[in-house]
């Protein structure tokens, strides 16, 4: 039959020039969450920028507090108060203290902070009794304690998370050089498709692939363009694609990649650019066409709703992630060795079966799976209950109690 293992098709797709990382550019820091950095990012200044106190208390000369106890406190003269945001305007001399709040700069002359809990102030606040000795450096956060000027704070190819963005904000970065996320168009094809409510004419169905794929794109952080649906008409599909390649880095189509009389997508892609098709050794999602039209990669996904989702999972998302600069493009979903709580039966057919399952951690600390129900490629409702795909190898299936690799979807 010449069915191709899905890894082979995926690798061929990932090696297309049109699926390489997009040209890096600087994006607003506020838009950079989840983006991948294109170069190492350096610190131009230290963080913290100045020595400051980690505690509310009193900045002192540690030597003044030697031997202080609750019974025999050392009394110091309070000469100033420093809040966070103040600039010190006075030195701390011997026998003196400055009342100081967390984050305020250390005043010159002081080398330690005594936390307020170890002190007792007199009523007018003019003096403070220190009840414990301080060592030089106590509760002082030095300039550069977190980040030194000149150091790399974020390596290239880092997926930016909230804390990375905070670090960059602390250094004054307004823009961040990243690989942009691909903009992805979604086009449904099929003469039978209609949108929205209203009575269905004979033969019609409502388009469910486009909303599903738009949601998958949103979930993966890719900006999406809704290209609507086109009938099984070469002119209409070609026209929609030709318009979309101008603004989209990638396009997902569904339907029309099988061997039916009105399956035109492969032929259209071949005419507009280049196309490669596969009959994959997987179930669901056997047919796949991938074309390149003017630098834009077009994924011709199958029309059956479960197949479209699985194809997105196995082929489109890895390619889109690679375009967005991810180095582990095909590692979006964690794969675990799960325990089958019930038999996952199948027949030998030369294919890997991607069985929609419900997965949960059990008391033994392992992931356990059971079938999510009906497994037909048109039965999206059962798949909607699934949170994992069990990868059931060719053969008779998996017995209850044995293990099976599973991709965790949530």
Question: In this chain, which of 105, 180, 256, 397 binds ligand AMP, going by CB under 6 A?
Answer: 256
Cα 120 to Cα 58, 82, 98, 180, 284, distances in angstroms: 11, 18, 14, 57, 74
Q: What is the dihedral of CA 81, 82, 83, 89, to 10 degrees?
A: 130
Least separation in angstroms between CB 274 and ligand AMP: 21
Residue nearest to Mg ion (CB): 255
| 302 contacts Mg ion (rule: CB under 5 A) | no
Question: In this chain, which of 57, 88, 255, 287 binds Mg ion, going by CB under 5 A?
Answer: 255
For residue 18, the 8-state DSSP code is G
Q: How far apart are CA 92 and CA 111, in angstroms?
A: 9
Within 303-332, the residues that bind Mg ion by CB under 5 A are 303
Q: How far apart are CA 175 and CA 152, in angstroms?
A: 16
Least separation in angstroms between CB 212 and ligand AMP: 8
Least separation in angstroms between CB 240 and Mg ion: 15
Q: Candidates 103-111, 188-196, 340-348, 361-369: pick the segment binding ligand AMP (CB under 6 A).
A: 188-196
Instruction: Name which of 182 and 255 has its Cβ closer to Mg ion.
Output: 255
Of these partners, ligand AMP, Mg ion, none, which one is at the site of residue 265 (CB under 5 to 8 Å by kind)?
A: none
Q: Find how far residue 35's CA is from the centre of its chain.
A: 8
Q: How far apart are CA 299 and CA 244, in angstroms?
A: 13
| 190 contacts Mg ion (rule: CB under 5 A) | yes
Q: Candidates 93-101, 187-195, 207-215, 305-313: pick the segment binding Mg ion (CB under 5 A).
A: 187-195
Look up tokens 């305007």; give the residue: 89
Question: In this chain, which of 209, 277, 296, 322 binds ligand AMP, going by CB under 6 A?
Answer: 209
| 284 contacts ligand AMP (rule: CB under 6 A) | no
Q: How far apart are CA 150 and CA 45, in angstroms?
A: 7
Q: How far apart are CA 268 and CA 245, in angstroms?
A: 14
Residue nearest to ligand AMP (CB): 303
Least separation in angstroms between CB 211 and ligand AMP: 9
How many residues interact with ligand AMP (rule CB under 6 A)? Answer: 18
Q: How far apart are CA 176 and CA 124, in angstroms?
A: 51
Question: In this chain, which of 82, 140, 193, 369 binds ligand AMP, going by CB under 6 A?
Answer: 193
Let me know: does 287 contact 266? Beta carbons within 8 Å: no
Instruction: Name which of 53 and 188 has its Cβ closer to ligand AMP.
Output: 188
Question: In this chain, which of 57, 180, 303, 397 binds ligand AMP, going by CB under 6 A?
Answer: 303
Least separation in angstroms between CB 380 and ligand AMP: 8
Q: How far apart are CA 204 and CA 194, in angstroms?
A: 7
- In terms of Cβ atoms closer than 10 Å to its own Cβ (0-12, 13-18, 19+), residue 304 is buried
Least separation in angstroms between CB 306 and ligand AMP: 10
In sequence order, which residues have a C-beta less than 8 Å from that of residue 3 and are 6 or more positions away? Answer: 279, 280, 281, 286, 350, 351
Of these partners, Mg ion, ligand AMP, none, which one is at the site of residue 208 (CB under 5 to 8 Å by kind)?
A: ligand AMP
Phi, psi of 228 (to 5 degrees): 75, -160
Q: What is the dihedral of CA 372, 373, 376, 378, to 10 degrees?
A: -80
| 304 contacts ligand AMP (rule: CB under 6 A) | yes
Least separation in angstroms between CB 258 and ligand AMP: 4
Residues that bind Mg ion (CB under 5 A): 190, 255, 303
Residues that bind ligand AMP (CB under 6 A): 188, 190, 192-193, 205, 207-210, 254-256, 258, 260, 302-305
């Amino acid at each position: 039959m010449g069915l191709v293992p899905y890894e082979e098709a995926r690798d061929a797709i990932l090696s297309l020039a049109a699926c390489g990382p997009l040209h890096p550019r600087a994006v607003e820091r506020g838009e950079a969450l989840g983006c991948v950095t294109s170069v190492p990012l350096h610190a131009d200044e230290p963080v913290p920028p100045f020595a400051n106190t980690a505690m509310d208390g009193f900045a002192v000369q540690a030597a003044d507090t030697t031997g202080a106890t609750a019974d025999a406190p050392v009394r110091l003269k309070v000469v100033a108060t420093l809040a966070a945001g103040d600039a010190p305007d006075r030195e701390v001399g011997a026998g003196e203290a400055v009342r100081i709040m967390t984050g305020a700069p250390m005043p010159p002359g002081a080398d330690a902070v005594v936390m307020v809990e170890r002190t007792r102030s007199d009523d007018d606040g003019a003096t403070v009794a220190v009840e414990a000795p301080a060592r030089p450096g106590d509760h002082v956060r030095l300039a550069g304690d977190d980040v030194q000027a000149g150091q790399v704070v974020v390596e290239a190819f880092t997926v930016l998370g909230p804390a990375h963005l905070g670090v960059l904000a602390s250094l004054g970065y307004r823009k961040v050089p990243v690989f942009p996320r691909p903009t992805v168009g979604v086009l449904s094809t099929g003469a039978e498709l209609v949108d929205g409510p209203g009575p269905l004419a004979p033969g019609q169905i409502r388009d469910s692939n486009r909303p599903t794929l738009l949601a998958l794109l949103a979930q993966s952080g890719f900006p999406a363009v809704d290209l609507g649906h086109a009938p099984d008409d070469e002119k209409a599909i070609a026209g929609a694609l030709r318009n979309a390649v101008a603004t989209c880095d990638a396009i997902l189509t569904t339907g029309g990649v099988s061997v039916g009389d009105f399956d035109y997508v492969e032929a259209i892609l071949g005419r507009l650019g280049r196309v490669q098709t596969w009959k994959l050794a997987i179930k669901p999602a056997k047919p796949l066409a991938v074309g390149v039209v003017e630098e834009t990669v077009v994924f011709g996904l199958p029309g059956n709703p479960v197949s479209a989702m699985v194809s997105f999972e196995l082929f489109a998302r890895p390619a889109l992630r690679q375009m967005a600069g991810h180095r582990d493009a095909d590692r979006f979903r964690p794969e675990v060795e799960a325990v089958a709580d019930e038999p996952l039966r199948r027949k030998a057919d030369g294919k890997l079966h991607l069985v929609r399952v419900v997965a949960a951690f059990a008391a033994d600390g392992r992931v356990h799976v059971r079938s999510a129900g009906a497994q037909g490629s048109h039965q999206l409702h059962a798949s909607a209950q699934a949170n994992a795909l069990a990868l059931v190898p060719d053969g008779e299936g998996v017995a209850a109690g044995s293990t099976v690799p599973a991709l965790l979807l949530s």
